[in-house]
């Protein structure tokens, strides 16, 4: 029986992985996977990792030396994996789409909560304060929403926004053909949008795509929503834009330094990250701890797809969800073996 080490385990992970197990010995660790904890996977055939694990060159070498043959990411993102170090040693697979609806719906929830001050109203009425002062919002109908990234999640978000009667414009390095989406240049999107929502992966091209210069191009009073990756936004520049009124409100499910904090309870601890502390303290910022994916349907899909990925690997099949180092994030190159229906290596 193949042994699989599952890192950064939460109670809900164990429930769904046990339910969907297709015949593996699952070893659960609460620790995040990194160069120090990689030794815990000794005698395991594969590891299952999550979005905030640090799978750098040292971690990969440690895994490889301990006999690990596969890294199964149970998330869509993989910017935390050193693929150059993994190439030729350990194959990497992922879960490309566990529920685009979950994340897109959470983005809308953040926007609606910010706009209609639901969080403030909730806290007031619990103290029997029924005043409406300071709770004004705006109609979303007729407003322009700029969507950066039009993959599956971005397109679901676009459909929801259209349902609200919003005008949608979008920017993507790789526009979806025949999608009916109104693509514009990034500067145009920044200048015309009343709401900007981020749904793109974190790459060298998108790192801090919303930076100090980008904020100067936005119309005053814009809402910023990010349910993708924290480093898409320069957090210090966001703070400045919140302070000067450029940004009316920010709904964030991610933060660029989240790996040190998210998914854990720090309620009894003094947080030493000043930027995070200032963001949380602002009444026009709602920050959730990377929970946009967290629906029963998504958890089911994560576990079942991960098991499918493991089954394919250990039965020597083509890896449907392999992330190929040579193909630069999925853009197939001429000499790539996957083009011929084979594995990356």
Active site residues: 229, 258, 290
Tokens for 335, please give them: 């000499």
Phi, psi for 191 (deg, rounded to 5): -75, -30
Instruction: Please give the distance of CA 162 from its chain centroid, rounded to a whole number.
Output: 23
Which tokens sit at 45?
A: 């055939």
Alpha-carbon gap, residue 180 to 204, rounded angstroms: 28
Alpha helix segments (H runs only) across the chain: 11-20, 57-65, 83-86, 100-116, 118-126, 152-163, 186-192, 212-216, 235-243, 274-281, 296-314
3-class DSSP assignment, residue 81:
strand
Please name the helix (run of DSSP H) or strand (run of DSSP E) that holds residue 243, with its range, or none. helix 235-243
- CB-neighbour burial class of residue 118 (10 A; exposed 0-12, middle 13-18, buried 19+): middle
Both tokens of 92, joined, read: 């990497």
Contact status, residue 44 vs residue 314, Cβ threshold 8 Å: no
């Amino acid at each position: 029986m193949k042994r699989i080490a599952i890192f950064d385990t939460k109670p809900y992970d164990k429930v769904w992985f046990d339910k969907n197990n297709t015949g593996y010995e699952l070893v659960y660790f609460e620790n995040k996977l990194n160069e120090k904890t990689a030794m815990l996977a000794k005698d395991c055939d594969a590891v299952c990792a999550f979005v905030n694990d640090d799978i750098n060159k040292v971690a990969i070498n440690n895994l490889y030396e301990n006999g690990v043959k596969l890294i199964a990411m149970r998330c869509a993102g993989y910017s935390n994996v050193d693929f150059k170090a993994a190439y030729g040693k350990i194959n990497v697979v992922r879960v490309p789409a566990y529920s685009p609806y979950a994340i897109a719906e959470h983005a809308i929830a953040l926007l609606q909560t910010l706009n209609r001050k639901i969080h403030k109203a909730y806290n007031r009425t619990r103290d029997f304060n029924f005043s409406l002062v300071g709770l004004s919002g705006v109609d979303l109908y007729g407003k322009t929403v700029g969507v950066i990234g039009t993959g599956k999640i971005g397109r679901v978000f676009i459909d929801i926004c259209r349902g609200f009667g919003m005008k949608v414009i979008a920017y993507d390095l790789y526009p979806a053909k025949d999608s009916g989406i109104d693509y514009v240049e990034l500067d145009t999107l920044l200048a015309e949008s009343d709401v900007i929502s981020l749904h793109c992966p974190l790459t060298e091209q998108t790192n801090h795509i919303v930076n100090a210069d980008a904020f100067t191009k936005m119309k005053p009073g814009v809402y910023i929503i990010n349910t993708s990756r924290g480093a898409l936004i320069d957090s210090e520049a966001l703070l400045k834009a919140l302070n000067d009124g450029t940004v009316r409100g920010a709904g964030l499910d991610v933060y660029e330094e989240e790996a040190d904090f998210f998914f854990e309870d720090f309620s009894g601890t003094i947080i030493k990250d000043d930027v995070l502390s200032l963001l949380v303290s602002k009444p026009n910022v709602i920050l959730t701890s990377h929970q946009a994916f967290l629906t029963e349907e998504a958890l089911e899909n994560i576990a079942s797809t991960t098991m499918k990925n493991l089954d394919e690997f250990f039965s020597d099949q083509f890896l449907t969800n392999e992330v190929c180092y040579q193909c630069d994030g999925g853009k197939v190159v001429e000499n790539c073996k996957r083009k011929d229906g084979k594995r990356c290596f």
